[in-house]
Structure 1
Amino acid sequence: MSDLSALPKDWIVTSGQFTRTAYQEVYPAIDPTKADNSLDGKTLVLTGASRGIGARGIAPAFVKAGVKAIVLIATNVTKLGSVEEELKKINPKIEVLSLSVDITSVEQVSEAWREINSRYPQVHILVNNAGVETTDSDKPHEQDPDVFFRNFEVNLKGTHTMTQQFLKAAVTWATAEDPVRVINISSSSAWGVWPFLAAYSNSKAAIIHYTTTVAASYPGTVLAIAVNPGMNDTEILPSVLREAGFQTNDPLLTGATLVWLTADPARSRFLNGRVLTVEWDVNELLSRKEEITSKNLLTMQLNATLGVEQFGN
């Protein structure tokens, strides 16, 4: 791999642009305090809520958008308590339920959802944010299988287990007019080739196709979107990327983008089953709606022309 430090400091953003305008901070269209981004009365379940983007970006943005209640899930209950305190500063009336859960455990996830559903029979939004990056080598013959598949345990199995329990309750009431929303956090490494992130990037690529499958499984009643949060200065950021000195995003950019995606399902339905990056301008995405849907853009596809039609008569 070439010397990352030799690349422009904005390379992570500019090399992945799909819209002409790119942002690294919250901008007016996605402002969570705007009326058309309101989530008044809604309930959110957020994994990976004790630190990083979850604690510093996603949870605060949804509270600013007016959610009635937020369920914080992570393994460190002490850190969850600190996050809850910060959210109460934004809205003292916000209902917060903090649960210590290992999302790789089917039993713990099932028990957590029994408690969640007993308190909130209708959970409107699930954000699968929890994730790990444990790649131990850029050479497959050197990679410890247990370390490698730890990424899949948390990033993929954990996402599926949480989504499964969420949908078990949601399918009883979700409608086309009021679909439930599933946001799965992925990564641009999912479509890049980064050997030093092999385990992480493979698991995040699987997340994108998993999201497409969920959307196709519940046409109309489930809005499922995969989201790349870009580069953020969090605990999960590999040292090689931090040392390269690339520009990082404000975590609130991810939170505000998720608010925009979930506040009005009719507005964002064209992104159902697709993946996007938070730096992309949502108004420009809207202007390209027909192109995105007609060409099936922003999905994981085989880079080839398939079908007998290509051969003519």
Structure 2
Amino acid sequence: MLDLATLPKDWVVTSGQFTRKAYTKIYPAINPTEPENSLKDKTVVIGASRGIGAKGIAPAFAKAGVKAIVLIATNAAKLKSVEEELKKINPHLEILTLGADISSAEQVTKAWSEVNARYPKVHVLVNNAGVECTQSDKMMHEQDPDIFMKNFEVNVKGTHIMTQQFLQAALPWASTTDKARVITLSSSSAWGVWPFLAAYAMSKAVNIMYTTTLAAAYPETLLAIAVNPGMNDTEILPDSLRAAGFNFNDPALTGGTIVWLAADPARSQFLNGRVLTTEWDVEELVARKEEITSKNLLTMQLKAILGVEQFIG
């Protein structure tokens, strides 16, 4: 495995570049206060009690002018502190905080019954809640299966339960001109090979395929996009990555990117069912729209030439 400490501090960004410009902080095109990124009168549900959700995603939606933000997370007490910070951004913002373990279908169903009672039309779901609990000091044959699978309980099962509840509420109103929007946080570890992040990386790879499947299942009424937030200074960052000293992204970069994706589904339609990284320049992505769609880029695929045609002639 690479000795991470020997790599340049910007390696995480530069090694994963898809656009010429790369960012670690928010930039004008994704500024949530710009009119073209407005989400006025919209309602969003976010898993946000800490980290990127609390510091980047929820504040970005507040700045984008949403009518209401619903915060769902296990730690209800922490949600209150997030609510206080959001009220500083927009005192008129409606906020509903709900404590729920997203890996519990019963708890999530109960939470969504409260959401639906107050907000019959939730426009955006941001699947941000997640855990990283790989036993990085052990080889795969030594790891506790229950700890290994905890990543899937939250990152995969939890994502599905939240999305399922969102879709049940959204499908009656969603249309080609007013799409429901699901943004799911993934990770670049999903397409890398990191044995010390095995369980986490695998669960995040599932999130990408889940996104692709969602987009295919509801092509006329749903916008589904996976987002890699890059390297952030959060509680779930493994010690080995923190020790490497890589540069961190500002959480506002992820927040602004997600707002940009959600604000105008027609603008971001070419990314439906795909994954992108927050450091990539969205204007360059738009300029490469035809290339991305015609070559089916930014998706998880088997790297092989397939089909009987290769054996003919």
Superposition TM-score, scaled by structure 2 size: 0.99
Q: Deviations over 1:140-195 (max 9, x none)?
A: 11111000000000000000000000000111010010100000000000000000
1:268 matched to 2:268? The reply is: yes
Aligned to 1:296: 296
1:142 aligned onto 2:147: no
CA RMSD of aligned residues (A): 0.6
Structure 2 equivalent of residue 192 of structure 1: 192
Partner residue of 1:54? 53
Structure 2 counterpart of 1:255: 255
Secondary structure at the aligned position of 2:258 is classed as: helix
Query: Match of 1:181, as an amino acid?
Result: R
- TM-superposed CA distance for 1:220, in Å, is 1.7
Superposed CA offset, 1:77-130 (max 9, x none): 111110000000000000000000000000000011111001000000000000
Q: CA deviation at 1:2?
A: 2.3
Unaligned runs of 5+ in 2: none
**1:286 is the counterpart of 2:286:** yes
How far apart are residue 304 of structure 1 and its match? 0.3
Name the residue aligned to 1:96: 95
Separation in structure 1 between the aligned mates of residue 5 and residue 238 of structure 2, nearest angstrom: 14
Match of 1:130 in 2: 129
Q: Does 1:235 align with 2:248?
A: no
Report the counterpart of residue 5 of structure 1 in structure 2.
Answer: 5
Question: SS where residue 298 of structure 2 aligns?
Answer: coil
SS in 2 for 1:60: helix
Measure, in 1, the Cα distance between the counterparts of 2:17 and 2:310.
31
Output the CA distance in 2 between the equivalents of 1:63 and 1:155.
25
Aligned to 2:63: 64
Give the aligned partner of residue 158 of structure 2. 158
Q: State the 1:44 CA deviation.
A: 0.3
Query: Residue type matched to 2:128 in 1?
Result: N
Q: How many residues align?
A: 312
Q: Which amino acid aligns with 2:262?
A: T
**Which amino acid in the other structure matches residue 52 of structure 1?**
G
**In 2, Cα distance between equivalents of 1:42 and 1:133:** 31
**Post-superposition offset of 1:139:** 1.6
Shift of 1:75: 1.1
Residue 118 of structure 2 aligns with which residue?
A: 119
Q: Distance between the aligned counterparts of 2:19 and 2:161, measured in 1? A: 33
Q: Distance in 2 between matches of 1:278 and 1:121?
A: 30
Identity of aligned residues (%): 73
- Taking structure 1 as the reference length, what is the TM-score of the superposition? 0.99
Distance in 2 between residues matched to 1:4 and 1:115, nearest whole Å: 46
Within the alignment, does 1:74 sit opposite 2:47 as a pair? no
Deviations 1:264-302 (A, max 9, x none): 000000000000000000000001000000000000000
| Secondary structure in structure 2 of the residue aligned to 1:23 | coil
C-alpha separation in 2, matches of 1:204 and 1:223? 19
Structure 1 runs of 4+ with >4 Å offset? none
Gaps of 5+ in 1: none
